[in-house]
Amino acid sequence: MSVLSSVTVFNNEEEILKTFLVLLAFIATFTVQASKLDNQLQQHASPYLAMHGNDPIAWQEWNKKTVSRAKKEGKLIFVSSGYFSCHWCHVMQRESFKSIDVAKILNSHFIPVKVDREINAALDSRLIDFVERTQGQAGWPLNVFITPGGYPLVGMTYVPKNNFISILEKITKRWKEEKKQLNDIAVSASDELATAELFPTDKIAAGIGQEYINRFISQAKTMSDDMAGGFGQQNKFPSVPQLTTLLTAYENKPDEELKDFILLTLTKMATQGLNDQLGGGFFRYTVDPNWQVPHFEKMLYDNALLASLYIDAARIFSVKQFDTIARQTLDFLITTFRSEQGAYIASLSAVDDKNVEGGYYLWQLEELKKVLHKDEMALLEVIWQLQGPDDLDGGQHLVEAMTLDEAAKLLKISNSKAEKYFTSAKRKMLEVRNTRHVPRDDKLLAAWNGLTLSAFAKAAKQYNSERYANAAKNIKNYIYNNLWQKNKLLRAVKGDKVLGEGELEDYAYVAQALTDWLEYSENKTDRQWLNDIISQGWTRFYSKQGWLLTENSLLKYREGEAVIADGVLPSASSLLIDVSLKHANKTKDTRLKKKSLAALNVGHLDIVSEPFWYSSQINGLLVYQNSIK
């Protein structure tokens, strides 16, 4: 067919106009279809993001493309951050993110973004900070509306579906009517929290470490629970950075009151509901002040940090029970968290495969009576107080009510017989529990594996253990061979999928891990690798504006900080400074030492006003000043 024969012949202007309008309609339809958002999370390598892959919401990932689209369309970005083992994240998905009504609003008026907070830790940290400052408290799921320019506007945690729909409708209306005013408010709020340029000196005032540690101890005492241990009177978190600094303070200057509080806290955490009395390993926190009822997720970072804490406490106080808890926790990690690659997975879910929170760990009394001999049952009833109605919806949670020796005395049996019954009962219960299923988040994170390497390296040294040394070496080799690529760290991998670039905490925690490993086994190659990680950490994340949590942040909020506060994880900036000073002393690197001391000598106003939240920086000051006496 010739070109001419394919041309439509129009008989009049009306036919031309009609065809033109049809063509316009076709183009318009095609344009709408081409620009329509689709859910991008199906089959995602992150288990948390993948579980949202079938939501009716058109979830996008947090990246330049998404932010550019928000700018082009003038829409607010709705960022929802959570993680796989989070109970309330599952609840909000079930109630709201599976809802067609919610999806219609989000897909029409917003750019919806789902974030795995374990992959985008820097973004999540900044948004947590924003919500804490504006709402008074924060947690997960974390939901924040961000302007097209990248400025957070308003945020919240879990809200029920009807409330959430109401919030979406109100924000949609206000953004349409007051876009400029709301954008200006978001920009102003972010500017007020911007960190000024730093001009630090490496000349640290004499005695300032001890002054700050005294302030820290004073504030810690006002927040401490003298009856149950720990800090606060509501939810109880392990608060490892603060307890670590208290241990340093006690070791530097013994004090009986401080000792009693640390021993009380560590004992309660080990024997009550925070710790899995049957299989080992710590839960993330308890929902009550007496350490009884946990949220049942188990995180790699908690168990690594707590194992290290108990190792140090056992050494300082010579308490055999703390050695036992440290070993049990590390053994739990080896048997339950270790991957085929030798590195360690991220977490175990709070809900079991039947969607029951804690279902994997809870027991019905009738079930126990069928499994156990009557003498075993009688012993467990007094040790774990297994009488009366279930304390939780899914059954009884195991909490120590008395020690094995106390139970033997009460039941008038020998200690050896009590130990025999206790051992056989736990073996039978574990056999039953191993038939249950708890979902796992099996991605491998650089930062958290760094913390785990530290724990195993310290254990290998303290216990002269080849088993723990091998565990540490396997993690080290995995990070080096798989997460250290072209002179930079990756954030995480799952299978052959890379999940993000390394952030400040990855460099800091891996550097800390190599420092601990080198104290056990000095190796020139590892020493050079440590030097490279430290160098890259400073180059990528430190500037005149202070510390950056990540490179090339798309969020316009607190992009630099003089000193990073402690959270559930220790301050990444403080740890990198600490390992840099140790490395500089070892290698006689005066330039690195000078730079590290200057970064240690900042944030004094923040430290003085809230020393509890800057315990790692205070710990670094104290350790450094003690080392030069």
The answer to whether position 199 is within a domain reads: no
Residue with the two structure tokens 């574990």: 430
Task: Check residue 160 and give its pLDDT.
Answer: 95
Task: Check residue 544 and give its pLDDT.
Answer: 81
Residues 587 and 452 in one domain: yes
- Region of 516 (left: φ > 0; alpha: ψ -120 to 50; beta: rest) is alpha
Domain boundaries, position 11:
4-33
Residue with the two structure tokens 């002054």: 211
Q: Specify the CATH number for the domain of residue 244.
A: 1.50.10.10
Q: Specify the CATH number for the domain of residue 112.
A: 3.40.30.10
Which of 331-335, 405-409, 495-499 has the weakest average pLDDT? 495-499
Query: pLDDT grade, residue 17 (50/70/90)?
Result: very low
The answer to whether position 267 is within a domain reads: yes
The single-letter code of the amino acid at 552 is N
Residues 27 and 47 in one domain: no
Residues 87 and 114 in one domain: yes
Residues 11 and 151 in one domain: no
478 vs 557 pLDDT, higher one? 478
Joined tokens for residue 353: 């495969």
On whether the CB atoms of residues 278 and 296 are closer than 8 A, the answer is no
The answer to whether position 200 is within a domain reads: no
Give CA–CA dist 416/599, Å, rounded. 56
DSSP for 37-101? -----TT-SSHHHHTTTTSSS--B-SSHHHHHHHHHHT-EEEEEEE-TT-HHHHHHIIIIIT-HH
Give CA–CA dist 183/174, Å, rounded. 11
The answer to whether position 116 is within a domain reads: yes
Query: pLDDT grade, residue 413 (50/70/90)?
Result: very high
Number of DSSP helices (H) and strands (E) in the chain, helices first: 25, 16
Residue with the two structure tokens 């993000």: 500
Residues 402 and 478 in one domain: no
State the total domains in the chain.
4
Task: Check residue 25 and give its pLDDT.
Answer: 46
Give CA–CA dist 507/541, Å, rounded. 10
In a 3-state reduction of DSSP, which class is residue 349? coil
Residues 322 and 464 in one domain: yes
Residues 448 and 428 in one domain: no
Which contiguous run of DSSP H or E holds residue 238?
Answer: none
Task: Check residue 199 and give its pLDDT.
Answer: 63
The answer to whether position 289 is within a domain reads: no
Q: Specify the CATH number for the domain of residue 401.
A: 1.10.10.10
Give CA–CA dist 557/545, Å, rounded. 13
Residues 553 and 427 in one domain: no
Last residue of some domain: 377, 409, 433?
433
Span 82-93, average pLDDT: 92
**pLDDT, averaged across the chain:** 91
Task: Check residue 2 and give its pLDDT.
Answer: 33
Last residue of some domain: 433, 463, 486?
433
Query: pLDDT grade, residue 10 (50/70/90)?
Result: very low
Residues 91 and 47 in one domain: yes
DSSP label of 486 = T
The answer to whether position 385 is within a domain reads: yes
Residues 495 and 612 in one domain: yes
The answer to whether position 222 is within a domain reads: yes
Span 154-165, average pLDDT: 94
Predicted TM-score of the model (pTM): 0.88
Span 103-111, average pLDDT: 95
pLDDT at 3 over 50: no
Residues 622 and 534 in one domain: yes
Give CA–CA dist 465/456, Å, rounded. 9
Last residue of some domain: 192, 224, 240?
192
Residues 450 and 327 in one domain: yes
Euclidean distance between the first and the last CA atom of the chain, given in angstroms as a whole number: 95
Task: Check residue 21 and give its pLDDT.
Answer: 44
The answer to whether position 413 is within a domain reads: yes
On whether the CB atoms of residues 441 and 499 are closer than 8 A, the answer is no
pLDDT at 534 over 90: yes
pLDDT by residue (tens digit) across 287-319? Answer: 999 999 999 999 999 999 999 999 999 999 999
